[in-house]
Amino acid sequence: MERGADLVVPIKRLDRAKSRLRGAVSDVEHAELVLALLLDTVTAALSAEGVRRVLVVCEDERVPAALRGTGVECVDERGLPGLNAALTFGAESLRTPSGTVGALQADLPALRPADLSAAIEEAGGRRAFCADRQGTGTTLLLAARGEQLDPRFGPGSAGAHAATGAVRVGASRPSLRCDVDTGHDLGVAAELGLGVATGKFTGSFDLRCTTSP
């Protein structure tokens, strides 16, 4: 039996991603900020005990360039239609008969490796999810050991994942629940402690931005 998990991290084309966060930094820096959120997320994930492989599924050529030499793998999503299709494609390429595959959102810049490890441990090979701070979205989905990911990301995904039989994990792990959608979220993440890449922008944040998608 394999312990731990292999994780897929999806990332949209950088200029189109995180539209509600637009304005937190200057327009020219927006793509760099989105990339920084990803880099801090995957760096923390790869150093978490129990995480074996981290595979980014992307549609932007700047992403593999930025990940080169980090140990994080990267694959182009090849025009697949949307987030859940991209995740399924990535997860199937990682899946083994007795291993656990999972999906981790790309916007967790305060992620602590210990929080991710604890959630994987808590799942114990069961299908599981971690809800975001608001309790409606999902930051981490883990398939049952050896099973398909069957992702249901999108509005209300926490409820959708619970309805598929996933157990809730990581409820007391703030860094795993702190996804950054808005300027306010960025402020909360900064209080928890940002990773190095996102932290470089701290001096230029405008946390009042709440642009509608």
Ligand X SMILES: C=C(OP(=O)(O)O)C(=O)O
Task: Give the residue ranges of the annotated binding site for phosphoenolpyruvate.
Answer: 138, 154, 157
Tell me the closest approach of the beta carbon of residue 145 to ligand GTP, in angstroms: 24
Choose, by CB under 6 A, the member of 71, 82, 124, 154 that binds ligand X. 154
Q: Which of these, 1, 4, 6, 3, lies nearest to 92 by C-alpha position? A: 6
Contact 136/161 with Cβ under 8 angstroms? no
Q: Cα–Cα distances in Å, from 151 out to 104, 139, 166? A: 11, 12, 11
20 binds, among ligand GTP, ligand X, none (CB under 5 to 8 A by kind): ligand GTP
Site for ligand X contains 137 (CB under 6 A): yes
By beta-carbon proximity to ligand X, the closer residue of 51 and 141 is 141
Window 97-116: residues binding ligand X (CB under 6 A): 105
Q: Which two tokens stand for residue 8?
A: 């897929």
Which region, judged by CB under 6 A, interacts with ligand X, from 23-31, 62-70, 153-161, 202-210?
Answer: 153-161
- In the sheet that holds 138-142, the strands lie side by side as 73-76, 51-58, 5-11, 101-104, 138-142, 128-131, 167-168
137 binds, among ligand X, ligand GTP, none (CB under 5 to 8 A by kind): ligand X
Site for ligand X contains 185 (CB under 6 A): no
Q: Which two tokens stand for residue 55?
A: 């595979």
Site for ligand X contains 183 (CB under 6 A): no
Indicate the DSSP class of residue 208.
T
Site for ligand X contains 157 (CB under 6 A): yes
